[in-house]
Amino acid sequence: MKSAAHIAAALVAATLSALALSVHGAGTGRAALPPADPTPVTSVVAVPTATRIWEIEYRAHNGATRAAHVLLPSWYGPERNPELPLVISPHGRGVDGLMNARLWGNLPAIGGFAVVSPDGHGRLLGRFSWGAAGQIDDLARMPDVVSDALPWLRIDRERVYAAGGSMGGQETLLLVARHPELLAGAIAVDSLVDFTRQYGNFPRLSRGCNAECEKTWGGPKGERLQWLARREVGGSPETAPAAYAERSPLTFAAQIASSGVPLQLWWSRTDAIVVQSRLQSGLLAARIREHDPNAPLIERVGSWRHTETLRADTALPQMLVRFGLVDADALP
């Protein structure tokens, strides 16, 4: 009979063969919430892996009904339900929870943990929540949301984590700042940290945007993103500076530093989406160390495409090993 480690390694290999992406070089490392409304399970999304995705519904802060996708080992269910750690994983700008959930591959089965990836909702916009206060509070309710929708799922409340990239990294960091008591650890990859700076840099994202790209965005991509940001936030950085600061993790560097939450900050020097990354995640890391040189921070810097490391077939397993969610011996 094969050992659990051999089976886990085979599952990793299957995931890696199914997902054909490459990392362009990782750098050196440096080292009482309101109850959720009960909602029914609406469907199960079948995936050809050892992980099953359950789709549930929840009521967002603004009353909207939103979907969330819960990843569980395929063997897990009402008849076999030990306590599992839970990872809350907010998605990046413009995508949804299901797309984000699929980035995790077979890792929940290999490590024996659950992931919840909600669609979320901002002040006005759905996929462009950009750290709205109500969205962060909704993320903090996810353990209750999941327990209410899947009452047979037993969550280890001492092992709740958060992990996200880009806008999801922004919201992960704001969750650390505002609800540190919830989390045993957090991972933020290529995060939007200074929203005012990113707003000013949005026009740079239009470079190389062809006619089809502009058709998709209804005009120059950067200008469209600025328009969406003004709608969601309620103005521009010039007219609503406090609102942009409130959605910027950089504003909360002191709170993040004093939170006691172990934090992994991964960022790419060559990020073409969150540009000037040295003044985004890089500056946040420096500020955290200024506030507390002994803060439990791991900073990993390299040169990869935007959020490419936050995938089951790249560096996500390494990130999870650091928190004990995946056994390093189970990885190939």
Which pLDDT tens digit goes with each residue over 82-114? 999 999 999 999 999 999 999 999 999 999 999
Confidence band of 329 (pLDDT split at 50, 70, 90): confident
pLDDT of 16 above 70: no
Same domain membership, residue 109 and residue 84 = yes
Structure confidence at residue 144 (pLDDT) = 98
pLDDT of 65 above 60: yes
Q: What is the mean pLDDT of residues 51-70?
A: 96
Strand bridging mode 51-59 / 263-268: unpaired
Least confident range from 39-48, 59-68, 304-313: namely: 39-48
Same domain membership, residue 316 and residue 240 = no
Confidence band of 130 (pLDDT split at 50, 70, 90): very high
Same domain membership, residue 124 and residue 240 = no
- Encode pLDDT of 27-39 as tens digits: 323 333 233 333 3
Same domain membership, residue 214 and residue 103 = no
Same domain membership, residue 219 and residue 144 = no
Same domain membership, residue 216 and residue 138 = no
**Spatial contact of 217 and 209, defined as CB atoms under 8 Å apart:** yes
pLDDT of 172 above 60: yes
Structure confidence at residue 206 (pLDDT) = 73
**Alpha helices (H) along the chain:** 4-18, 97-101, 107-111, 133-140, 142-149, 167-178, 195-201, 211-217, 221-233, 241-246, 253-258, 281-291, 316-322
Residue that is last in its domain, among 247, 279, 309: 247
Same domain membership, residue 44 and residue 97 = yes
Q: Quick one: which of 70, 67, 35 has its CA closest to 52?
A: 70
Q: Quick one: which of 2, 1, 23 has its CA closest to 11?
A: 2
Containing structural domain, residue 210:
197-247
Q: Which CATH number does the domain housing residue 176 bear?
A: 3.40.50.1820
Same domain membership, residue 56 and residue 118 = yes
pLDDT of 220 above 90: no
Same domain membership, residue 112 and residue 47 = yes
Confidence band of 330 (pLDDT split at 50, 70, 90): confident
Q: What is the mean pLDDT of residues 126-137?
A: 97
Distance CA 84, CA 96 (A): 24
- DSSP symbol at 37: P
- Encode pLDDT of 269-298 as tens digits: 999 999 999 999 999 999 999 999 999 999
Token pair recorded at residue 160 = 């709740």
Domain count, the chain: 2
Confidence band of 216 (pLDDT split at 50, 70, 90): low
Beta-bridged to residue 66, according to DSSP, are 58
Same domain membership, residue 9 and residue 109 = yes
Distance CA 140, CA 39 (A): 17
Tell me the helix, strand and coil percentages in the chain, rounded to 5.
40, 20, 40
Residue 12 or 92, more confident: 92
pLDDT of 70 above 50: yes
